[in-house]
Amino acid sequence: MTAYFVDSSALVKRYVPETGSAWIRALSAQKTGNSLFIARITWVEVLSALARREREGSLTPTDRTLIIHRFRSDLNNQYQVIELDAKLAATAGQLVGQYPLRAYDAVQLASVLRIQLAFATTQSTSLIFLTADNRLSAIAQALGLLTDNPNHHP
């Protein structure tokens, strides 16, 4: 079993076909037993990505609605959600001062850093940060995180 922290750029691939979608779907299938962590803000970011695709015409309103229902079900039944609180916001604030990060990317990174310590003490389960954002991946690696990019798994 592996634990994955999945940021929005990687998670949207589970719901919308694009490069890396098959790979994300395979590792997130419940039968794998993998643990999936997301930040609370991922809900907003994924909905934003879906709305943009609808506006651009690559998703129909019906498809968008169906995907939102599926995402909500997965949110309630499969994902372990890291909540945004004052301490996490403070960590994200420090990160934007140290690295060229957008605000939500800093919250994603602060969220994975919060749970990294629990996995660092366990040899049996590794934590991998999944992101399709190369800059965010490089910063995460500089902070000692294991990362993977679904775009590298066509």
Domains and CATH numbers, the chain: 3-152 (3.40.50.1010)
- Mind listing the pLDDT tens digit for each residue in 65-95? 999 999 999 999 999 999 999 999 999 999 9
Cα gap 10→24, rounded to integer Å: 8
- Mind listing the pLDDT tens digit for each residue in 106-143? 999 999 999 998 887 776 788 999 999 999 999 999 99
Q: How much is the pTM?
A: 0.95
Cα gap 150→131, rounded to integer Å: 7
By the 10 Å C-beta count (0-12 exposed, 13-18 middle, 19+ buried), 35 is classed as middle
